[in-house]
Structure 1
Amino acid sequence: MGNTSSERAAIGHGEKAQRRDSRGTKEGERPKILMDSPEDADIFHSDDIKAPLGKEEFLEWQQDLEVDEKAPMLDRPTVFRWTGECKEVYLSGSFNNWANKIPLIRSQNTFVAIVDLPEGEHQYKFYVDGQWTHDPAEPVVTSQMGTVNNIIQVKKTDFEVFDALMVDSQKCSDVSDLSSSPPGPYHQEAYVPKQEEKFKSPPILPPHLLQVILNKDTGISCDPALLPEPNHVMLNHLYALSIKDGVMVLSATHRESTDKFRCSGGPSVTVGTLNHLDEKIKAN
């Protein structure tokens, strides 16, 4: 009906031996690759196993991805300068395969040209008044043909400051595009004050200007020819008495020195003259 104990032991021993023989190690340990015979080597080169090939394809795909993610090299504005007494100066170099001459702009005794060059090493030479020459003040290199040319190294690090300034200017321009004004239509119309905004009566006189020293009663002990010392807030103000018999009396108080004040009474002004002055002031 079933296996005996000896049969089960034999079967179990056979399974353990089979696991040891197939894996080459105990259960739970990482298998070791054994290549003691040519047959073992052929196993790893069979067409059925694609792991190494898949790994190579993955590495190639990763390299292509990294190349695609790299930003393209930008042309950097490079300044070329020639100083000396001459009429015309041109520039040519390896950056344009020596195919054409780039004219330099004259500024007094200096000729300048700005050329956008890719990053790297470039050779160049000047064409001055019909003669090819190099600038001895700049680095030079001798070609295989024995020609002496100037050489320049365009590096990305030389333009990091300009790149940072460009990023900052772009951020500032993005912020400046945002208007701080509220949305909605705008127009130009004269402001017309409402009726409730108009003053129906003149404003109330400040209380400190109610202290008028003109014709003010003084104490018996004081000299009647002298007026009391005015407050500083009363200076440089024009005061007027109540109109009596069609006449208004004006006065003003001003400082003469540190301890002297003068209260001067103006000429009597009739009401008609005062109205004329008021209309003239409004007209102006």
Structure 2
Amino acid sequence: MGNTSSERAGMGHDKASRRDSRGTKDGPKILMDSPEDADIFHGEDIKAPLEKEEFIEWRSDLDTSEKLDALDRPTVFRWTGAGKEVYVSGSFNNWNNKIPLIRSQNNFVAIVDLPEGEHQYKFFVDGQWTHDPTEPVVTSQLGTVNNIIQVRKTDFEVFDALMVDSQKCSDMSDLSSSPPGPYHQDAYAPKQEEKFKSPPILPPHLLQDGVMVLSATHRYKKKYVTTLLYKPI
């Protein structure tokens, strides 16, 4: 009986080994204590913060560019007709309030910061709404005639470039208050040729063609008498 049990155990072992060899496949061999485990199970976690940081930087750049593109542009409104008090209003402020124009010699002027795009506007002159016939007009949905203005970014590219240049030129942070060059505490020693020579015996204006000229002026009542003395040298 002991042999029978051992033979059964052996047969069972052979069947199990045959079943494993035919019915299953060897899985990936992973050593849990190896350093490769961190890359296998945490590879996506390592890349995730980097991708998130790149996304945040890209989003901030996009927001900055959108803000630059959405900058309000200074727009001049001018009324050249007659009037004592002139205001302007339009679709840029939903026609809610009237912006006063300042009188400038023969016309009225106002500078308003408007976003880029198309805007309708109208003037309020001495209590009456009117439009400027010399400027482009459009008929609104209500049938009223309004002036229209187109604010484009390309119209201000030159001014933007000049503003950037002026900011670069006005940046004096890199310049120091002291002139460039080395500094030391040694006293200045003049060179031999820089030393002053002794003065001449006679001033140069008294010598001419080897002749010394001396003069003396005397006053007699309302007249002056000048005496010259020539002496060869």
Residue deviations 1:76-109 (CA, integer Å, cap 9, x gap): 0000000022111000000010001100000122
Higher strand proportion (structure 1 or 2) = 2
CA distance in 2 between counterparts of 1:84 and 1:104 reads 12
Q: Which runs of 5+ in 2 are unaligned?
A: 1-54, 181-186, 217-233
* Deviation beyond 3 Å, 4+ runs, structure 1: 64-70, 260-263
**1:175 to partner: Cα distance:** 3.4
Q: Bigger CA drift: 67-76 or 140-149?
A: 67-76
Residue deviations 1:184-226 (CA, integer Å, cap 9, x gap): xxxxxxxxxx9x99xxxx95336xx56x7xxxxxxxxxxxxxx
Aligned pairs for 1:173-188 (under 5 A) are: 173-175=170-172, 178-181=175-178
Describe the shift of the 1:128–1:204 C-alpha distance in structure 2 as closer, same or farther (beyond 3 A): same
CA distance in 2 between counterparts of 1:104 and 1:80 reads 8
Q: Which runs of 5+ in 1 are unaligned?
A: 1-60, 184-193, 213-233, 237-251, 255-259, 268-284
Q: What SS does the corresponding residue of 1:163 show, helix, strand or coil?
A: helix
Aligned pairs for 1:114-263 (under 5 A) are: 114-175=111-172, 178-181=175-178, 203-205=196-198, 209=200, 235-236=204-205, 252-253=206-207, 263=212
Q: Percent identity?
A: 69
Rg: which structure is higher?
1
- TM-score by length of structure 1 reads 0.45
Structure with the larger RCO, 1 or 2 (CA within 8 Å, 6+ apart): 2
CA distance in 1 between counterparts of 2:98 and 2:86 reads 9
**Paired position in structure 1 for 2:65:** 70
Residue correspondences, number = 148
**Paired position in structure 2 for 1:88:** 85
Q: What SS does the corresponding residue of 1:161 show, helix, strand or coil?
A: helix
- TM-score by length of structure 2 reads 0.54
Q: What SS does the corresponding residue of 2:82 show, helix, strand or coil?
A: coil
Describe the shift of the 1:264–1:75 C-alpha distance in structure 2 as closer, same or farther (beyond 3 A): same
Describe the shift of the 1:263–1:176 C-alpha distance in structure 2 as closer, same or farther (beyond 3 A): farther
Q: What SS does the corresponding residue of 2:172 show, helix, strand or coil?
A: helix
CA distance in 1 between counterparts of 2:196 and 2:137 reads 87
